[in-house]
Amino acid sequence: EVQLVESGGGLVKPGKSLRLSCAASGFSFSSYSMNWVRQAAGKGLEWVSSISSSSSYIYYADSVKGRFTISRDNAKNSLFLQINSLRAEDTAVYYCALGEYSSPFDYWGQGTLVTVSS
């Protein structure tokens, strides 16, 4: 059974940094691209970033480019999202999701909440 478990969220002051993690199990993690999607409270879904299986291809939404860094550790079946210079508008639930380029997102984690507030 595919399982994706996010962690690392919390209450953070504006301008600070945070690193989100996603632990994957139940599939061959090193063979698949992975993604981050976020959702502000009461709002829709926003794709944030994607990374290919070997980290050769990385994509970011324009709204986060330059502040967010996606990475992965295939030996530890883990996906990461480094968020720098946090802003109030980054407040959201962050989901990791399994899906290749030009494919939908087949599986999602339960999300981790990031709240940016002074």
Q: Contact with other proteins (CB under 8 A): which of 75, 89, 104, 118?
A: 104
Q: Which one, of 48, 60, 51, 42, lies nearest residue 90 by Cα?
A: 48
Distance, in Å, from the CA atom of 70 to the CA atom of 13, rounded to the nearest integer, reads: 21
Cα(89)–Cα(118) distance, integer angstroms: 13
Q: Which of residues 8, 9, 27, 105 is near other proteins by CB under 8 A?
A: 105
Tokens describing residue 48: 């944030």
Question: Segment contacting other proteins (CB under 8 A): 10-18, 43-51, 66-74, 78-86?
Answer: 43-51
| 31 CB-near residues (< 8 Å, 6+ apart) | 53
Should residue 106 be labelled a site residue for other proteins when binding is judged by CB under 8 A? yes
3-state secondary structure of 31: helix
Q: Using CB under 8 A, pick the residue from 1, 13, 41, 62 that binds other proteins.
A: 62
Q: Is 113 among the residues that bind other proteins (CB under 8 A)?
A: no
CB 19 to other proteins: min, Å = 21
| Residues found near other proteins in the complex (CB under 8 A) | 35, 44-47, 50, 59, 62, 95, 99, 102-111
